[in-house]
Amino acid sequence: MKTRTRYSKLDAFTAWSFLTPALILFIVFIVIPTIAGIVLSFFSWNFFNEPKFVGLNNFAKLFNDPSAWSSLGVTMEFIVLGVIPTTIIGFMLAVLVSANMPAVGAIRVLYFIPVVLSVAVSAVLWVFLYDPRQGPIAAAFRAVGIQIPNILQTQSTAVPALVVMMVWLALPIVIILYLAALQRVPDDIYAAAALDGAGAWRTLWSMTWPNVLPTTLIVAVLQVINFASSSLDVSLIMTNGGPLNASRSLGLYSYQEAFTHQDVGYASVLSVLQLVVIVAIVVVGRAVTSRSSK
């Protein structure tokens, strides 16, 4: 009993030794800024003067600001257009990688490329790909006699174009998560499916997919956060929210209010709104998933 107690204390000490650095970083860079943002939403501050308490004035401004709600709509567009394709494509590619098909080596190299590139470098790369004069996408369309507009400067195509790039960036982590989940799927169910005469497609969606649903929930939560927050970096570099604010997400609007208009209090309110939206989507999605799995 004493030996077991000693080993359990040693395990606990080892676990906390590994967790403490990450926990400190999480508190410093996530928890404290979040609390500070919520507190600042009740103040008026321009970085230079002393913060002035204004109560709910910033929140009242939010409800009367059409730009905030249009930016929220753009953020929701990023989430809706990005999360589902990223999840499905990531799952399909993970299945291909785990199946050891002939081209699996090339697939592994291609899906790992975004990991070694920063968001800024990736954004510059995709701006070149979308370039209407020198970009390869426009060149491919011209080769078949089709002239396409400037994708990033057209209101109807700016957000979908950014989403394609963000899906490409998000796929590596999604594929890795699904690969880990696929390794835990028991081989017995595949043998049973083969005995029942199920084809590959039927086995994939009736056997494999239900067994990776817990991972799918994790992927969905991570991608909701990703597409809500990373849209700031991508749209800032690639379109700066244009054309005519068509790709200005809530995060980018908050950034502009803070660093262009020096209204930190109102920028904090916009960040709080984004946090509330993300938490609401995650809670609803988890509730729906839990109910459907029962």
Structure tokens at 234: 């991508």
Structure tokens at 41: 């939403």
What does the alpha-carbon distance between residue 23 and residue 29 come to, in Å, rounded to a whole number? 10
In a domain, 16, yes or no: no
Bridge partners, 43 (sequence order): 53
In a domain, 45, yes or no: yes
Of 258, 269, 293, residue with least CA distance to 64:
269
Report CA 180 to chain centroid distance, whole Å.
19
CB 41 within 8 A of CB 245: no
In a domain, 21, yes or no: no
Q: Which residues contact 169 (CB under 8 A, 6 or more apart)?
A: 114, 119, 122, 230
CB 123 within 8 A of CB 234: yes
pLDDT in tens, 47-90: 888 889 998 999 999 999 999 999 999 999 999 999 999 999 99
Q: Which runs of E-coded beta strand occur in the chain?
A: 43-44, 52-53
Of 273, 227, 267, residue with least CA distance to 247:
227
Whichever domain contains 120, its CATH number is: 1.10.3720.10
Question: Quick one: pLDDT at residue 81?
Answer: 93
Question: Quick one: pLDDT at residue 292?
Answer: 56
Question: Quick one: pLDDT at residue 293?
Answer: 57
Q: Give the pLDDT mean for 167-171.
A: 91
In a domain, 195, yes or no: yes
Task: Reply yes or no on whether the pLDDT at 189 is more than 80.
Answer: no
Of 265, 237, 257, 287, residue with least CA distance to 122:
237
In a domain, 15, yes or no: no
The 3-state secondary structure of 58-100, one letter per residue = HHHHHHCCHHHHHHHHHHHHHHHHHHHHHHHHHHHHHHHHHCC
In which residue are the tokens 């992927």 written?
219
Q: Give the pLDDT mean for 269-278.
A: 90
In a domain, 23, yes or no: no
Task: Reply yes or no on whether the pLDDT at 182 is more than 90.
Answer: no
Q: Please state at what angle helix 213-229 crosses helix 250-259, rounded to 10 degrees.
A: 30
Boundaries of domain holding 82: 37-293
CB burial readout 204-222, b (16+ within 10 A) else e: eeebbeeebeebbbebbbb
In a domain, 9, yes or no: no
pTM score, whole prediction = 0.86
Question: Quick one: pLDDT at residue 281?
Answer: 84
The count of domains in the chain is: 1
Task: Reply yes or no on whether the pLDDT at 24 is more than 90.
Answer: yes
In a domain, 194, yes or no: yes
